[in-house]
Structure 1
C-alpha cells in the first residue's frame, strides 16, 4: 500500500497527464474599463458571445468594453402602481360608486361617537 501512495498531492488538485495531443480552443482577450479608472482583461473563447459590460474585479462597479462597443438599450417598462392595477379591474364609475359607499359608511360610524 505504501508503495502506491502519492505523497504531497491533494485529491483532485492536479493531473499528471501531459498536454501533448490536446488542442486548446482559440481564445481572445477583451479589455474593460470601470468608472473608477481600473482596467482589466478577460479571456473568452473565439466563438463566445462577447458581453458589453463586466463587473470590475477591484471595486465591483460595472465596467464597459475598452474597444467602445456598446450594448443595445433595454426597454424599461414603467413600474405599475396600485392605481394602475386597480384601473385594470375597475372602471371610473365603479370606483366612484365604491368610494361613495365607503364614504357613507365612514360618516355613519363618525356619527355614533
Structure 2
C-alpha cells in the first residue's frame, strides 16, 4: 500500500504544502552602487540591520545609495597565537628557543643555558 501512495510524487523535488494563505515577511529593497556605476538592489527584512556595503557578485563591492557613511564598528580585535606568545615571551627569548630547536633538528647538541 505504501508503495502505491509514493509512486509519482517526486519526493524531494516538490513541496506538498500549498502557499495559499501564506503571507511573506515584510521586506525593504536597498539599492547599492559599485564604483563602475553598476547599481543593484537587495531585499532585506524590515527588521534587519542593513549593511553599508554589499558584494554584487559580478561588479565588486557596492556602497549603499543614500545610506550615509558606514558606521565604524568598535568590535574588539581577536588575539592571534603570535600575540598571546608575545605576552609570555620576549623576542630575545623566542630567538634562543628557536636556535635550540634548530640545533636539535640538525642533530647538533643543544647549547646548555
Unaligned runs of 5+ in 2: 78-85, 92-113
Unaligned runs of 5+ in 1: 78-84, 91-113
Q: How far has the Cα of 1:14 moved from its partner?
A: 2.2
Who is 2:7 aligned against? 5
Who is 1:71 aligned against? 70
Who is 1:107 aligned against? none
Who is 1:21 aligned against? 21
Who is 2:52 aligned against? 52
Select the structure of larger CA radius of gyration. Answer: 1
Who is 2:33 aligned against? 33
Q: How far has the Cα of 1:3 moved from its partner?
A: 6.0
Distance 1:54 1:25, change over 3 A: same
Distance of 1:3 and 1:68 partners within structure 2: 54
Tell me the C-alpha RMSD between the 2 structures.
Answer: 3.1
Report how many residues are paired: 79
